[in-house]
A and B are shown apart, each in its own frame.
Chain A
Amino acid sequence: MPDTEQGYGAEYEHQHVHSVYERIAPHFSSTRYKPWPVVEKFLRELPDGSIGLDVGCGNGKYLAVNKNIFIVASDRSPNLVAIAGQHQPHSALVADALDLPYRLSFYDFAISVAVVHHLSTEERRVQSLKAIFDSLREADASSNGGRALIYVWALEQKESRRGWDEGHEQDVMVPWVMKDHKKKPKDADHVAEVPGAQTTHYRYYHLYRKGELEHDVSEAGGIVLDSGYEKDNWWAIVTRSATGGINHIDPPA
């Protein structure tokens, strides 16, 4: 279990999230092509010409959804960004979710799908949400503020293969199993008894319990417009509050 110290959290994530994705990138990418319905709908309903972010874009599967908007996508893994960068008209770059290179109060929308749950302390999760909200356009007389869709893995998923549910430990290491290429056909006698060799990589996750995403969003200065549960995940659509963002003042302890 990581403690709350910033430097340690970053080091921990480097070891148990970033370097794992870097190693599993091509295999991971080949399994990630189907967009989640809530995310797809969010992107399709944006007005043409909207400009937004995909924070933690992975292989960029959401960049294929809508070509009439412009997405600046980012991920911590250069190997995944190289794959994401192929989706025109969009753009992809390498950046850390806690140090985003984006203009403040500028973007019409943002999505962050299956990313925030990789941060190992609540403080860092809230910081990453705040970094996203700070980049959203503020509401003014003529328009609503920008909107972000945040999507995280749920603790409550007893129907899933993993079987976690309420009461389970929320900080978990999840295996990613890469099977090596199948046995060569007709290749000698040892083939039958050697099961396909495989490598297992463990990634760190913080599983969100019911209500926790809304709590973190609010801590980060966001206002939840809508939220729900979709297939083992919690999601929230968020706008930034008028007083939130960069001038947010922490209440006295």
Chain B
Amino acid sequence: MKLLTLNFVTCARKSCKTLPAAFPLHPRDAELEIVEMELNPKFLVNILPRVEWQALRTVCQELGLPTLPDIMPVQQDLLQPPSLPGRESESQEGEAEGEGGSEEEDALQKPSQTAQDLHRVLLETTIANGKLVCGACGHEYAVKEGIANFLLPSHMV
């Protein structure tokens, strides 16, 4: 399970879902694996504002990963400024320029180191095996071969 996905899920029990303690689920005995994936800067820029940053920080800390900054990076932190000085990037915007326009855009979308780090943490770092524990009810969900299993035993449904 990707850490991005972990940021979007909670305990499957109805009685827990409204409780703040049920989010985020806490990894336990987690074995991490890096599953490489192409970095898509626009995707990262679009998704990042939806990430519950403090929950991500908590999970990273619990997994023993490097500490994330206190405050969530913003869009400008993810994209490198144009490397060529004197480019009139702003005046180009809104003009239909076909191929030329999109190349310009691509140049502007070059990912920064921050973007690469976030891509690594959110999309490439996966929990391969281990457990996810609900902070409210204590139930443990197993993760095996990268797949988390949220099926509840019948007495918990």
A residues near B (Cβ < 8 Å) are: 7, 10, 48-49, 51, 67-68, 70, 72, 74, 76, 78, 81-82, 85, 88-89, 91-96, 98-104, 106-107, 246
Q: Is the CB of A99 within 8 A of B12?
A: yes
Whole-angstrom distance between the Cβ of B59 and the nearest chain A Cβ: 14
Complex interface: chain B residues within 8 A of A102 (CB) = 8-10
Whole-angstrom distance between the Cβ of B145 and the nearest chain A Cβ: 8
Q: Is the CB of B150 within 8 A of A94?
A: yes
- Other than the given A67-B43, A74-B150, 12 more pairs (CB < 8 A) read A7-B154, A49-B42, A68-B40, A68-B43, A93-B1, A94-B150, A95-B12, A95-B150, A99-B157, A101-B11, A101-B141, A103-B17
B residues near A (Cβ < 8 Å) are: 1-2, 4-5, 8-14, 17-18, 23, 37-38, 40, 42-43, 45-47, 50, 123, 141, 145-152, 154, 157
Complex interface: chain B residues within 8 A of A68 (CB) = 40, 42-43, 46
Given contacts A89-B43, A91-B1, A93-B5, contact A10 B154 (CB under 8 A): yes
Q: Is the CB of A89 within 8 A of B150?
A: no
CA distance A95 to B10 in the complex (A): 12
Whole-angstrom distance between the Cβ of A47 and the nearest chain B Cβ: 8
Q: Is the CB of B40 within 8 A of A103?
A: no
Q: Is the CB of B46 within 8 A of A48?
A: yes
Give the nearest-CB partner of B16 in chain A. A101
Q: Is the CB of B23 within 8 A of A103?
A: yes
Q: Is the CB of B149 within 8 A of A94?
A: yes
Q: Is the CB of A246 within 8 A of B152?
A: no
Complex interface: chain B residues within 8 A of A85 (CB) = 146-147
Q: Is the CB of A88 within 8 A of B37?
A: yes
A–B Cβ pairs within 8 angstroms, 24 of them: A7-B154, A48-B46, A49-B45, A70-B4, A74-B150, A76-B151, A78-B147, A81-B147, A89-B37, A91-B1, A91-B4, A91-B5, A94-B150, A95-B149, A96-B150, A99-B12, A99-B13, A99-B14, A102-B10, A103-B8, A103-B10, A103-B17, A104-B18, A246-B18
Complex interface: chain A residues within 8 A of B147 (CB) = 78, 81-82, 85, 92-94
CA distance A228 to B39 in the complex (A): 38
Complex interface: chain B residues within 8 A of A7 (CB) = 154
Whole-angstrom distance between the Cβ of B73 and the nearest chain A Cβ: 16
Complex interface: chain B residues within 8 A of A95 (CB) = 12, 149-151
